[in-house]
Amino acid sequence: MISFAHPWVFWLLAIVPVMGVWYLYRGRVGLTVSTVDTFPNIRTAKYWLRHVPFALLCGGVVFIVIALARPQVAENGSSSTTHGIDIVLALDISGSMLARDFNPDRIAAAKDVAAEFINDRPSDRIGLVVFAGESFTQSPLTTDRATLLNLLARVETGVVDDGTAIGSGLATAINRLKDSPAKSKVVILLTDGENNTGRVAPMTAAEIAQTLGIKVYTIGVGTRGEAPYPMRDAWGGTVMVTMPVEIDEEILTDIASLTGGEYFRATDRRSLAAIYEQINRLETSEVEVNEYTRKNEVYGRFLLWGLILSIIGFCVKYLFLRPLV
pLDDT digits (tens, 9 = 90+) for 232-241: 877 877 888 9
What is the mean pLDDT of the segment spanning 26-33?
58
Asked if 266 and 306 sit in the same domain, the reply is no
Q: Which amino acid is at 312?
A: I
Local confidence band at 157 (pLDDT 50, 70, 90 cut-offs): very high
CA–CA distance from 317 to each of 39, 49, 60, 277, 301 (Å)?
22, 9, 14, 75, 24
- Would you say residue 174 has pLDDT above 80? yes
Look at strands 238-244 and 226-232 and give their pairing. Answer: antiparallel
Asked if 216 and 300 sit in the same domain, the reply is no
More confident residue, 218 or 324: 218
pTM of the predicted model as reported, rounded to 2 decimal places? 0.66
Asked if 126 and 9 sit in the same domain, the reply is no
Asked if 237 and 94 sit in the same domain, the reply is yes
Angle formed by the axes of helices 269-282 and 106-119, nearest 10°: 30
Asked if 172 and 205 sit in the same domain, the reply is yes
| Per-residue pLDDT at 279 | 93
What is the mean pLDDT of the segment spanning 251-257?
97
State percent of the chain over pLDDT 90. Answer: 53
Compute the distance between CA of residue 116 and CA of residue 295 in angstroms, rounded to an integer.
Answer: 41
Of the CA atoms within 13 Å of residue 276, those in its CB half-sphere come to 23
Asked if 107 and 52 sit in the same domain, the reply is no
Q: What residues does 145 pair with on adjacent strands?
A: none
The range of the structural domain enclosing residue 127 comes to 85-284
20 CB neighbour count, 10 Å cutoff:
13
Asked if 180 and 61 sit in the same domain, the reply is no
How many structural domains is the chain composed of?
2
Instruction: Residue 191: name the closest of 251, 247, 230 by CA.
Output: 247
Asked if 124 and 158 sit in the same domain, the reply is yes
Q: Which amino acid is at 4?
A: F
Instruction: Residue 3: name the closest of 75, 76, 72, 66 by CA.
Output: 72
Compute the distance between CA of residue 201 and CA of residue 194 in angstroms, rounded to an integer.
Answer: 12
| Per-residue pLDDT at 324 | 45
More confident residue, 84 or 214: 214
